[in-house]
Amino acid sequence: MIRIAPVGRALAVVAATSLALTACGGGGGDTATQTSPSSAAPASSAPAAKGDGTLTLGTLLPQTGSLAQLGPPEFAGVDLAVKEINEAGGVLGKPVTKYDTDSGDTSTNIASQSVDKLLAQKVDAIIGAASSSVSLSVIDKITGAGVVQFSPANTSNELTTVNDRGLFFRTAPPDKLQGRVLGDLVVSDGNDTVGILAMQDSYGTGLADQVTQTVTDGGGEVVERVDYDPKAADFSADVAKIKAKNPKGIVLIGFEETTKVVQELVKQGLTSDKHKWYMVDGNLSNENFLKFPKGTLDGVKGTYPGAAAPDEFRKKLLGINKDLKDYPYASESYDATNLIALAAEAAKSDAGTDIAAKLIEVSKTGEKCKNFKECADLLKAGKDIDYDGVSGPVEFNEAGDPAVASIGIYQYGKDNTYPAKAVEYKNGNISG
């Protein structure tokens, strides 16, 4: 079902207030972490359809699973925003309350259990998940409860057209933009024959489709594409199919299982000094690569959505989590939190449906501002605002996607680490 245009989205969020979802009790052991005192509601209680005057946020971000490496910077981005919001007086005159939960990955039911817990706490908005497939597995439960779901990292094209009742937003651009930038990069590097190894899920196949189209449009040929099972114990047969076609360029689209794929590529002689390798946001910051012999990934390039995190912002994040080494999607998480808070201020309500109705408005066509306090002061003065965040301008289109976004192109060195800053940034229109 096609996502709803602005008027339709408004009608949808109003209609969603009449919907309530009874949350099923989650299994023990994964308790939500709250940042302000609150008594836990019974797991069977339905979330409130109307706001109670306190903006309550939940995070559904990876503490475990195939994207666990993205969790720390995402949590830090949310925590920094909440800290600054509360220091500026909070939302609607009250401190923001936050509960943290684990999204896990699609191999478990952790995300569904976490959502149940957050809905039982009567959250107004949920920030997450990082994985598009995880979001797709819980979006009906979240939006059916009249709660905003706002992902800082979902890139699947499928989420543009999902029936979300006008309640799903994201600060990360859809894969069609990353796919275009990656495909153009592959072709411009002189690869007229290309092999693709992509994990078989909405993220992997969607991104592989766009790369295939862009490579083909650019005069190249995808001579072999393998959509593999990321849970497979062995990838020798998948890599052998690529080897049989001997492509100049090899695109790797996946998560942490890419470690095993790379090992198999090396084993079968498809090393990065003989074939040009390319990666994506799901596997670029894989710490397992540091265990490989030096030079294994030397010169390998990859794409990552989002603008560079400014140095000042990184210093603030380290004040939240001193152990941070990488910053993927920290900016997007920070901006998601601020936008939700500003939309609540603009709506004069913390109800999820009211927040959703104002998110597009606070993201564009008003007076520009760059942080919560600055923007909130403008709202209190009766002015329209245009929040320009750390991750970029974040101007939402009618689908809840950022209309314009940046994609960074990164390159590994001989020590198998990629630089903190991109070699180059490509800006593009999502509809372009």
> Residues 233-290: pLDDT tens digits?
999 999 999 999 999 999 999 999 999 999 999 999 999 999 999 999 999 988 889 8
Q: Which two tokens stand for residue 226?
A: 């393998």
The pLDDT value given to residue 14 = 45
The pLDDT value given to residue 37 = 34
**What is the overall mean pLDDT for the chain?**
88
CA-based torsion, 155, 156, 162, 164: positive or negative:
negative
Task: Out of 88-97, 274-283, 389-398, pick the least confident.
Answer: 389-398
Task: Tell whether 159 and 285 lie within a shared domain.
Answer: no
H, E, C per residue of the chain = CCCCCHHHHHHHHHHHCCCCCCCCCCCCCCCCEECCCCCCCCCCCCCCCCCCCCCEEEEEECCCCCCHHHHHHHHHHHHHHHHHHHHCCCECCECCEEEEEECCCCCCCHHHHHHHHHHHCCCCEEEECCCHHHHHHHHHHHHCCCCEEEECCCCCCHHHHCCCCCCEEECCCCHHHHHHHHHHHHHHCCCCEEEEEEECCHHHHHHHHHHHHHHHHCCCEEEEEEEECCCCCCCHHHHHHHHHHCCCEEEEECCCCHHHHHHHHHHCCCCCCCCEEEECCCCCCCHHHHHCCCCCCCCCEEEEECCCCCHHHHHHHHHHCCCCCCCCCHHHHHHHHHHHHHHHHHHCCCCHHHHHHHHHHHCCCCEEECCHHHHHHHHHCCCCEEECECCECCCECCCCCECEEEEEEEECCCCCCCCCCCCEEEEEECCC
Q: Which is nearest to 280 in space by CA: 301, 296, 260, 308?
A: 301
Task: Tell whether 385 and 274 lie within a shared domain.
Answer: no
The pLDDT value given to residue 15 = 45
CATH of the domain at 296: 3.40.50.2300
Does the pLDDT of residue 432 top 60, yes or no? no
Q: Is residue 1 part of a domain?
A: no
Task: Tell whether 260 and 148 lie within a shared domain.
Answer: no
Residues 6+ apart with CB under 8 A from 389: 171, 331, 334, 335, 338, 339, 370
Phi/psi at 305 (nearest 5 deg)? -65, 145
The pLDDT value given to residue 41 = 34
Task: Tell whether 111 and 188 lie within a shared domain.
Answer: no
Task: Tell whether 140 and 47 lie within a shared domain.
Answer: yes
Q: Is residue 397 part of a domain?
A: yes
Q: Is residue 127 part of a domain?
A: yes
The pLDDT value given to residue 199 = 97
Q: Is residue 21 part of a domain?
A: yes
The pLDDT value given to residue 19 = 37
Task: Tell whether 212 and 297 lie within a shared domain.
Answer: yes
Q: Where in the sequence is the domain holding 343, given as residue range(s)?
A: 6-173+309-401
Task: Out of 88-102, 308-322, 375-389, 415-429, pick the least confident.
Answer: 415-429
Instruction: Tell me the per-residue pLDDT of 303-355, one tens digit each, with 9 for 90 and over.
Output: 998 877 889 999 999 999 999 988 989 999 999 999 999 999 999 999 999 99
Task: Tell whether 210 and 287 lie within a shared domain.
Answer: yes
Split at pLDDT 50, 70, 90, the class of 393 is confident
The pLDDT value given to residue 298 = 95
Task: Tell whether 27 and 144 lie within a shared domain.
Answer: yes
Count other C-beta atoms under 10 Å from residue 71's C-beta: 21
The pLDDT value given to residue 285 = 83
Q: Is residue 366 part of a domain?
A: yes
Q: Which two tokens stand for residue 185?
A: 């990069």
Task: Measure the CA–CA gap between 363 and 393, rounded to whole angstroms.
Answer: 8
Does the pLDDT of residue 142 top 80, yes or no? yes
- Total domains in the chain come to 2
Express as a percent the part of the chain with pLDDT over 70. Answer: 88
Phi/psi at 56 (nearest 5 deg)? -115, 120
Q: Which two tokens stand for residue 352?
A: 């999820």
Split at pLDDT 50, 70, 90, the class of 3 is very low
Does the pLDDT of residue 24 top 50, yes or no? no
The four Cα atoms 410, 412, 417, 419 give a dihedral, to 10 degrees, of -40
Task: Tell whether 275 and 193 lie within a shared domain.
Answer: yes
The pLDDT value given to residue 4 = 44
Q: Is residue 38 part of a domain?
A: yes
Q: Which two tokens stand for residue 292?
A: 């490989």
The pLDDT value given to residue 290 = 87
Task: Out of 17-21, 77-81, 118-122, 403-407, pick the least confident.
Answer: 17-21
User: What average pLDDT does this structure show over 403-414?
Assistant: 91
Task: Tell whether 31 and 135 lie within a shared domain.
Answer: yes
Does the pLDDT of residue 429 top 60, yes or no? yes
Task: Tell whether 161 and 209 lie within a shared domain.
Answer: no
Split at pLDDT 50, 70, 90, the class of 138 is very high
Q: Which two tokens stand for residue 259?
A: 């470690």
Does the pLDDT of residue 47 top 70, yes or no? no
Return the higher-pLDDT residue of 51 and 350. Answer: 350
The pLDDT value given to residue 287 = 82
* Under 8 Å between Cβ of 51 and 204: no
Cα 153 to the center of its chain, rounded Å: 1
Task: Tell whether 110 and 196 lie within a shared domain.
Answer: no
